[in-house]
Amino acid sequence: MSISNRIKNITAGGSDGWGVFNRARKMISNGEKVIELSIGEHDIRTDSTIIEAMRKSALNGNTGYAEMQGLIKLRNLIAKLNEEKTGVKTRPENVIVTPGGQAGLFATHMAVCNEGDRALYLDPYYATYPGTIRSIGAKDIPIKTEAKNNFQPTFEEIDKNAHGAKSLLINTPNNPTGAVYTRGTIEGISKAVIKHDLWLISDEVYDCQIWNGKHISPRSIKEIEEKTLVIGSMSKSHAMTGFRCGWVIGPEFIIEHMVNLATSTTYGLPGFIQEAAYFALSQGKEGMEKVSLPFKRRYELATKILQKNNSINLVPSDGTMYLMVDIRKTGLTGDEFANLLLDKKKIAVMPGESFGQAAAGHLRIAMTVSDKIFEQSLIDICEFAENI
C-alpha cells in the first residue's frame, strides 16, 4: 500500500524546520528546564474576560454546529474593522471564519491554485508556507529578499520569478524578520500582481504589533482589491493562539467556494470560540495594545544588550514578537548555533534556515518570556557567541 505523493511531498523529503523546537519540547517533557524563545506563544495569557465570554457562551448551550461561514455578527465586525483599515467596502459575505490563520492559508491556496501551478512566496518566510503550498499540490517558488534592503521585496525580484505563476503570498509585518512593508514596497508588489495576473494572498496576522512605520494592507490598493485575499487571526493580537480562530477576507465569489471547502474539511468553528473572538474584538484597541506593548519594550531592551556584542548583529525590526539576529561572525550556521545553544545553555531559539535561505546564518528569537528572563537569556546568548 502507498500513500499519496501530495502528502509525502509536504516537506519535500527534508526538514519541516521545527527540529530544534521539537528537541526542546522533548527535553521539557523529560523534566529538563529549557527557556523557550522559539515559538510565538505569548507569556501574557488570554485575558480572563475573553475566557469568561467563551465559558458563558458554552454554558448557554452554544456547543452545537455553528454557521459554516462563521457567526454573522463576528463576520460583520471583522468586515467593519477591515473596512475602517482599508477604506474598501466590506460585507460579511466577504469574510469566512477559519480554524486559525493557518487554515486560511491552506484554504486560499486551495481556492486559487490548481495542482502543478507555480505559487510564489517571499523568503524569509514563516516555516509552514512551503508545506502549505505543497500540500495542495502546487509548486512552491521562493523569492529571495535581502538583509541589505531590510528584507523589503522588490518589483524586479518578483517580476523575474513570476512568469506563469498563479499566486503570490506575502506577510507584513513579517515573521521572521519584523519588516513592515513600506508604501513603495506594497506598490511594487501591486505592480507585479497586475503585470502577471496573480492572486495576492496577504498574511496580516501581526498587523497589531508595529512600533515603526504603518501597516498598509494591499487590499487598500484599488487596482488589486479584487485580486487580494487577506488572512487575519485572533492568535497574535489577543494572545488566543490555542483558540484557533482566524479568517479570510476576499471577493464574495471566492469566499462562497471556500465555504464549500470548509463543509468538506473543517466543518466550521465552534460557536463558543467565535463568541469569545467577537467579545475580544468588540473591546477595541486597548486589549490589543496590552498584548503588543511588551514586545516593543523587549525590542528596545534587546537593542541595548546586542549593541555591545561583537559576534551577534541585530537585524533592524519594525514589528512582531520576534528578533532576527545575524550570527555569521561566529562561523556557525543557524542550525549549528541553535542546536549547540540548546545543548549547552538550555535555551531554544529558531535557526534562520527554518525560514529559508535568505535567513541562513541567522536566528529568530521570540520575545515571549518575562523581561527579566528575556534579558538574562540574551546576555547568555551573547556570552555563548563570544566563547564558541
The secondary structure element, H or E, covering residue 83 is: helix 72-86
233-284 confidence digits (pLDDT tens): 999 999 999 999 999 999 999 999 999 999 999 999 999 999 999 999 999 9
pLDDT of residue 124: 96
How far apart are alpha carbons 363 and 80 in whole angstroms? 38
How far apart are alpha carbons 148 and 155 in whole angstroms? 16
For residue 7 the three cell numbers come to: 502528502
Q: Which residues contact 332 (CB under 8 A, 6 or more apart)?
A: 340, 388
- Range(s) within the chain of domains with CATH label 3.90.1150.10: 5-45+286-386
pLDDT of residue 16: 72
- From first CA to last CA, the distance across the chain in angstroms is 48
**CA torsion through residues 142, 148, 154, 156, sign:** negative
325 within 8 A of 315, measured Cβ to Cβ: yes
30: left (phi over 0), alpha (psi -120 to 50) or beta: alpha
CA dist 255 to 45, 195, 303, Å? 32, 24, 43
Residue pointed to by grid coordinates 514586545: 295
Architecture in CATH of 5-45+286-386: Alpha-Beta Complex (3.90)
pLDDT of residue 182: 97
- Angle (CA) 154 160 165, round 5°: 105
Per-residue pLDDT of the chain in tens (388 residues, 90 and over written 9):
889 988 888 888 777 788 999 999 999 999 999 999 999 999 999 999 999 999 999 999 999 999 999 999 999 999 999 999 999 999 999 999 999 999 999 999 999 999 999 999 999 999 999 999 999 999 999 999 998 899 999 999 999 999 999 999 999 999 999 999 999 999 999 999 999 999 999 999 999 999 999 999 999 999 999 999 999 999 999 999 999 999 999 999 999 999 999 999 999 999 999 999 999 999 999 999 999 999 999 999 999 999 988 899 999 999 999 999 999 999 999 999 999 999 999 999 999 999 999 999 999 999 999 999 999 999 999 999 999 8
pLDDT of residue 241: 97
Of 245, 247, 203, residue with least CA distance to 93: 247
pLDDT of residue 14: 72
pLDDT of residue 8: 87
- Range(s) within the chain of domains with CATH label 3.40.640.10: 60-283
For residue 203 the three cell numbers come to: 498574511
118-123 vs 139-144, strand pairing mode: parallel
pLDDT of residue 308: 86
Pick the CATH number of 60-283 from 3.30.70.1560, 3.40.50.970, 3.40.640.10, 3.10.20.30: 3.40.640.10
Instruction: Find the radius of gyration of the CA atoms of the chain.
Output: 21
Q: Which residues contact 251 (CB under 8 A, 6 or more apart)?
A: 94, 226
> 3-state DSSP call for residue 104?
helix
Edge-to-edge strand ranges of the sheet holding 228-233: 95-98, 246-249, 228-233, 199-203, 165-171, 118-123, 139-144
